[in-house]
Amino acid sequence: MVSLWVNRLFRSRGIEMANKKVWKGRFKKDSNEDMEQFSHSIDIDQRLWSDDLKVNLAWAEALREIRIITDQEFVEIRNGLERIRTEFEKGEFRFHPQDEDIHTATERRLTEITPAGAKIHTGRSRNDQVMTDLFLYLKREIDEISILIRDLMEVIVNRAEENIDLIMPGYTHLMPAQPILFAHYLLSLFWFLKRTIDRLGQAQERCNIMPLGSGAISGSGFPIDRKLLANRLCFKHLSQNSLDITSHRDIPIETGSILVMVMVVLSRYSSDLILFSNPNFGLFTIDEAFATGSSMMPQKRNPDSLELIRGQAATTIGRLAGLYTLCHGLPHGYNRDLQED
């Protein structure tokens, strides 16, 4: 009965759905233009396009299984999503001024390609959709960041082996304390990075919880097979509480905290190398490829690369603090403030 009712609804309204906001419903007045532009997040969340297309395809398959869409409509939707993917990959996708976010942009384009696209949002909310997109994105980014960290660990080990007998001063209170091996100094960063890999793996495991099917706060209302959805999207677990998974941002905050910790530690090593390369210390010389000169003082070899690491560490700390502040005091359930995450 549910599938029959939905199909009748879409047949009666047709493509008209694509030209309206997904939340338009009973609203009779158009949005204020300034308010509309102010509320858009497409410049930030467009990076989720690949994940959003994956979620749309999996959701279309789930809707086909409960006969909300026909086999032919599913084929049209699948082909439409592949076309959109190609447009993104080639840099040919064009955003519309009324696209609020990546979800409305892809749905709008899909419905331009096929009227069946107007059914794609049946039974779901952008609340569970965006969290599913975000978890897919975080899992992918954690993989890529972990590769970069492992590359850095390999470089550290190689440099330590190349300089296994090199002795340097060890400092406490920035005062010479005991002689140590330069390799010992380098490997102190290696072991921190090893713990970071472990932490990222734990955070990634928490991203393996699928929010899709949670709806806005209390489920879908349609008999969606969430286990099958999770398998298709490569999630290991299902969310157990829809209000929890759509309201909280603890998992992105946890991931951000780990990365901020990395930047803080890298900023400390950057400060070390800036000091050690200063002629007053005279322990190291920064390679010219990673230094800059002065337009007035030709003798200078400025450690800009290391100073920029310190500066970017400050920026990441500020962004994480902003995310904590964003979530502070919010009532439960989705609030538009969370768009800023």
- pLDDT for the residue numbered 26: 64
> Is residue 160's pLDDT more than 80?
yes
- pLDDT for the residue numbered 35: 64
pLDDT by residue (tens digit) across 122-146? 999 999 999 999 999 999 999 999 9
User: Which one is the CATH code of 127-340: 1.25.40.10, 2.40.280.10, 1.20.200.10, 3.30.70.920?
Assistant: 1.20.200.10
- Catalytic residues, by residue number, are 173, 294
- pLDDT for the residue numbered 178: 97
Phi-psi region of 249 (alpha: psi -120 to 50; beta: other; left: phi over 0): alpha
> Is residue 22's pLDDT more than 60?
no
Tokens of 61: 């398959």
pTM of the predicted structure, to 2 decimals: 0.86
pLDDT by residue (tens digit) across 242-259? 999 998 899 999 999 999
pLDDT by residue (tens digit) across 272-327? 999 999 999 999 899 989 888 888 888 888 999 999 999 999 999 999 999 999 88
pLDDT by residue (tens digit) across 75-112? 999 999 999 999 999 999 999 888 889 999 999 999 99
Where are the domain boundaries for CATH 1.10.275.10 in the chain?
A: 2-13+31-122
CATH code given to domain 2-13+31-122: 1.10.275.10
The rounded distance, in Å, linking the Cα atoms of 80 and 56 is 11
Q: How confident is the model at residue 2 (pLDDT cuts 50, 70, 90)?
A: very low
Where are the domain boundaries for CATH 1.20.200.10 in the chain?
A: 127-340
